[in-house]
Copies of this chain bind each other. A is one copy, B any other.
Amino acid sequence: MGHKFLDFLNVTRYIEIAANSMTHWRNSMFNLTYAFAEGNKDLRDILGGKGANLSEMTNLGLPVPQGFVVSTVACRAYLKAHELTDDLVTEIRSRVSDLETVTGKTFGHGADPLLVSVRSGAKFSMPGMMDTILNLGLNDVTVQRVAQRTENLAFAYGSYRRLIQMFGNVVFEIDIKDFNEASHKVENVRGYGSANFTRQDWLLVIEQYKQVFQAQAGQEFPQDVYDQLFIAVEAVFKSWDNDRAKVYRQLHNIPDDLGTAVNIQQMVFGNYSKDSGTGVMFTRNPATGAPGLFGEYLSQAQGEDIVSGARTPDPIANLEASKPQVYQQLKTIAEKLEKHYQDMQDVEFTVEDNHLYMLQTRNGKRTPNAAVNIAYDLYEEKLISAQEMISRIEPGMIEQLLHPSFLASDLAKHDSIASGLPASPGAATGEVIFTAQGAKVAAEKGHHVVLLRNETSPEDIVGMTVSEAVVTSRGGMTSHAAVVARGMGTCCVVGCQDLQVDEAGAVAHYAGGVLKEGDIISVDGTNGKIYLGTIKTTAGSVSDKLNKILAVCDKYARLQVFGNGETVKDIREAIVKGARGIGLARTEHMFFQPDRLKAMRQLILAENDADITSTLAYIKGEQKGDFVAMFETLLDKPCTIRLLDPPLHEFLPTKEADLQQLAQSIHKDYNWVAAKAAALREVNPMLGLRGVRLAVTLPQIYQMQVEAIIEAAILVSEAHQVNIIPEIMIPLIGVTPELEMAKKLCVDAAEGIFEKTGKRLDYKVGTMIEMPRACLIADELAQDADFFSFGTNDLTQLTFGYSRDDAHKFLPTYLEDHLLPNDPFQVLDTKGVGALMNMAATKGKAANPKLKVGVCGEVGGNAESIEFINTLPVDYVSCSPFRVPQARLICAQTQLRQEAEKNGVEYKASSVTA
């Protein structure tokens, strides 16, 4: 080999030979085999990712050891028939013969026998899941020829030994250790290592290997090289259905019926000489996105040696000094590949006696941070368009960038002790507690808690709500723990089988240790890993380049993105994250500070109008202060303020002791207070006296709120010389006269202030659309509304008849049994809730073309939901500030995708995060 390496001129000839096969290829949409020169990167379905890219590189003129691909078509046929068809056998023989012609070598014969690798390669990368066999073509005879040609006994017999071992392991599941022992036995007997083995020693080793093989496989190691090849191909086909591969596919949503392709390629050897080696390389830094080659090179080794981690490779940069020619060649190829693929590449290569061979290229996996930086850099380098840049960012990346994560420098000091399914992202540290009640007690003492259980049930909610993170040893991505934690935004890892949890004993065992109650662990909900001790976290943030990308997104999106929030902190965060304004400010959140809560309680328990009036005056002062702060933060950015929504009894305590304290503090009789509180309590508070119904029974509250809003708006408008147009939103409207009444109440209150102050400003009055009935009469409501805002949470509750507070009792089962495709509170239900929204938005805009329509609620930040919302006559979505950046991206991607679909163009979704 050393002196007759693959001649690149021969490639041209090979392509010619292959062209003859093209006739066959043209005759059938689904060919069984493809020479690399016949394929291209767009044939991933049939050639798998590896085969498609080897083909593409071949056609780019890059130095690729030649070979051919047995297509997924053949695999699928095999998986049905359970045997290789005669056609396939004939084709493979013919392809090998072509390869012999190109390489000038003979498979199983001759002075320079052809050796090949057999590798799996599915459409979607499934790293390590399926099988590879190297050095096929070696047998008792050809190994001698190779030894003679290369004058390298260790190389030739070492390669043969590796073939027997890999073949035995892959095809007959023989433990690799059993083979290694055979080697060690000879070393022990001889008293020296394999580097010094004589031909006799090697023959003994091979004999030992063959004995291990025969003992466990029940047959001799095949000396017929075609037998080797066909058995290997079958083994790769079968590996599609091994358990590891099945689990991986399930986890990554890869369909089970794709099958894998098989790549049969001439061997090149990084372990051939001192001037040989193997490397993996990214064309940019996959962690940061920084330009420049990034990777590792291992001298005198084959690719598998890097993976095994037995030796530590050098940084790729070292090659610049040690092998400048190879390094320059790599740089040139990297540039060519990036330009061609328009993306950062993850490349595998081998150097055989100073000759560089490309063995693999693919879009490189990268961290979210790198993905953002690379996409923006490529856009700046004019390698990709703005639309393409937008398509390169996954919504999940932004979520990861914004969630707290472990500080990389600190994380490096910790080893993961266990790993499970990443059910709800984030990173958190706390003390292990095994019961919900215990978690509650610890949290009440101010401790940070990680709730660790085999699985959670509805009784555990009390503990989950106070925990920094939730970990379970059982259950999947739709288990109770997973669903509830995601709903609460709590970091969560489920199905963490590495932990044996003994709840009663309050201990958990893992390989190498025990967790006891109170032990500190750190949980990464983004990758599912558990660590011992405290790891510093870093708060997520929007980087400069991400900001620039999102600004581009805003240009392409149809839906505007607003934030939900009422505190100055939240409002500021929403604006910083790019919200156009505030789409939902919930005024009830402002009442829960101690002083105000007391006033609110006095109001609810007032016995006469004088009490009501004086209490409202106090609350109004406070509210006005809130609104001033809001408007000062927002200035002329729009703000939709929702009037009081929850049932009044939510402001009252429920426990006897608390009620007693309340009675004392407001100088009332306990029994009276208790009776009043009991009378306010409701069987189904979600369907009770709340929202606009409060305005019907106690109109003074809304009046007070509107006055406070208008007064605050006038004040800030004048002080800052900005044009503030407050948007007042009435919740829970179900019948038209309610809205008429509430609107009149608002208008009267506002006019009252205008008269009193002699000043005037524009304002809007609109309504939440959250009752199914509101959707059905939206045309009527639109007459009286400046805007609609869909309250998808309540609308979902009512459309399904699911209480958000109680659905955790059955939703997990529904998801596990596939009765529901998703948690409808996380992903908008398009058939039911969505149909009502479509009806309402369409009717509303038809009746009042000036009507502004939005969606507030968490689905406003969810990709699948926005996908649907973007098809409705809706103008904006409003979500929590945290989700605003993600929503901006999704709105742009959705619009671009739907435009592309309308134009019959395929829209590429990116999936390259590590």
Q: Which residues of A contact B (CB under 8 A)?
A: 457-459, 675, 679, 682-689, 693, 696-697, 732, 734-735, 737-738, 741, 770-773, 776-777, 794, 797-803, 805-807, 809-810, 813-814, 817-820, 829, 831-833, 835-836
Closest to A457 in B: B679
Known: A776-B836, A777-B831, A820-B735. A687 touches B813 (CB 8 A): no
Q: Which residues of B contact A807 (CB under 8 A)?
A: 687-688
By a CB distance below 8 angstroms, the chain B residues around A806 are 682-685, 687-689
B809 in contact with A801 (CB, 8 Å): no
When the two chains form their complex, are residues A832 and B773 in contact, meaning their CB atoms are under 8 A apart? yes
Interchain CB contact under 8 A, B696 and A809: no
Known contacts A801-B794, A805-B683: does B814 contact A696 (CB below 8 Å)?
yes
Q: Which residues of B lie under 8 Å from residue A794 when comparing CB positions?
A: 801
User: How far apart are A207's CB and chain B's nearest CB, in angstroms?
Assistant: 59
What B residues does A682 contact at CB under 8 A?
803, 805-806, 809
CB-contact partner of A801 in B675, B732, B800, B818, under 8 A: B732
Q: Do B835 and A459 touch (CB < 8 A)?
A: no
List 18 A–B pairs whose Cβ atoms lie within 8 Å, in order of A's numbering: A458-B679, A682-B803, A687-B802, A688-B806, A688-B809, A689-B810, A696-B814, A697-B813, A734-B800, A735-B820, A735-B832, A738-B819, A771-B799, A771-B801, A773-B831, A777-B831, A777-B832, A798-B801
SS class of chain A's interface: helix, strand, loop or mixed?
Answer: helix
Checking B686, B800, B817, B829 against A684 with a beta-carbon cut-off of 8 angstroms, the contacting residue is B686
Chain B's closest residue to A459 (CB) is B679
Contact A687 B835 (CB under 8 A): no
In the assembled complex, which residues on chain B have CB atoms less than 8 Å from the CB atom of A697? Answer: 809-810, 813
C-alpha gap A687/B810 in the complex (Å) = 11
Task: Known A803-B682, A817-B741, A829-B773; judge A687-B797 contact (CB<8 A).
Answer: yes
How many monomers of this protein are in the complex? 2
Task: Provide the bound-state CA to CA distance between A807 and B675, in Å.
Answer: 19
Interface centre among A686, A696, A734 (most CB of B within 10 A): A734
Residues in B whose Cβ lies below 8 Å from that of A686: 683-684, 687, 801, 803
Within the complex, the shortest CB–CB distance from A742 to chain B, in Å, comes to 10
A258 to chain B, nearest CB (A): 26
A800 to B800, alpha carbons, bound, how many Å? 13
Given contacts A735-B800, A737-B817, 6 further A-B contacts (CB under 8 A): A457-B679, A682-B809, A688-B807, A735-B819, A741-B819, A776-B836
If A687-B797, A805-B682 touch, does A819 touch B771 (CB 8 Å cutoff)?
Answer: no
Expressed in whole angstroms, the Cα–Cα distance for A684 and B832 within the complex equals: 21
Contacts of A829 in B (CB 8 A): 773
Q: Are B684 and A776 closer than 8 Å at their CB atoms?
A: no
Complex Cα spacing A693 to B686, Å? 19
Task: Give bound CA distance, A771 to B796, whole Å.
Answer: 11
Q: Give A461's nearest chain B residue, CB to CB.
A: B679
Q: How far is the CA of A874 from the CA of B771 in the complex (A)?
A: 25
Kindly state the separation between the CA atoms of A833 and B806 in the bound complex, as whole angstroms.
25
Are A693 and B805 closer than 8 Å at their CB atoms?
no
A810 touches B776 (CB 8 A): no
State in angstroms the CA–CA spacing of A770 and B800 once bound together: 10
- Which B residues are CB-close (under 8 A) to A801? 686-687, 732, 734, 770-773, 794, 798
The distance from the CB of A644 to the nearest CB of chain B, in whole angstroms, is 15
- List chain B residues, Cβ under 8 A from A675: 459
Whether A684 and B738, one on each chain, are in contact in the complex, defined by CB atoms closer than 8 angstroms, is no
> What is the CB-to-nearest-CB distance from A691 to chain B, in angstroms, rounded to a whole number?
8
CA distance A682 to B684 in the complex (A): 9
A686 to B798 alpha-carbon distance, docked (Å)? 10
Please tell me if the beta carbons of A684 and B805 are within 8 angstroms of each other in the complex. Answer: yes
Pick the residue among B689, B771, B773, B831 that contacts A776 (CB under 8 A).
B831
Q: Which of A679, A684, A835 has the most CB of B within 10 A?
A: A684
The complex places the Cα of A340 from the Cα of B797 at a distance, in Å, of 61
Inter-chain contact B741/A684, CB cutoff 8 Å: no
Contact partner of A693 (CB less than 8 A), chosen from B457, B738, B772, B810, is B810
Which residue among A459, A683, A805 has the maximum number of chain B CB atoms within 10 Å of its CB? Answer: A683
Interfacial chain B residues near A687, Cβ < 8 Å: 684, 686-687, 797, 801-803, 806-807
Complex alpha-carbon distance, A679 and B808, angstroms:
12
Of all chain B residues, which has the CB nearest A740? B819
Please name all residues of chain B whose beta carbon is closer than 8 Å to the beta carbon of A810 when the two chains form the complex.
Answer: 689, 693, 696-697
Shortest Cβ distance from A682 into B: residue: B806
Kindly report which residue of chain B lies nearest to residue A738, judged by CB atoms.
B819
Residues of B within 8 A of A683 (CB): 685-686, 803, 805-806
- Nearest Cβ distance between residue A348 and chain B, in whole angstroms? 45
A5 CB, nearest partner CB in chain B, Å: 61
The closest CB in chain B to the CB of A797 belongs to B687
The answer to whether A832 touches B772, judged by C-beta atoms less than 8 angstroms apart, is yes
- Give complex CA distance A820, B800 in Å: 24
Q: Which residue of B lies closest to A805 (CB)?
A: B683
Complex Cα spacing A459 to B674, Å: 12
Contact of B772 with A819 in the complex, beta carbons under 8 Å: no
Residues in B whose Cβ lies below 8 Å from that of A772: 772, 798-799, 801, 832, 836
Closest to A772 in B: B772
User: How far, in angstroms, from A831 to B735 measured CA to CA in the complex?
Assistant: 10
Closest partner residue, chain B, to A458 (CB atom): B679
Known: A686-B683, A805-B683. A799 touches B819 (CB 8 A): no
A647 CB, min distance to chain B CBs, angstroms? 9
What is the CB-to-nearest-CB distance from A402 to chain B, in angstroms, rounded to a whole number? 31
A524 to B556, CA, bound (A): 72
CB-CB < 8 A to A679: which residues of B?
A: 457-459
**Across the two chains, which residue of chain B brings its CB closest to A696?**
B813
Q: CB-CB < 8 A to A458: which residues of B?
A: 679
Complex Cα spacing A831 to B775, Å: 11
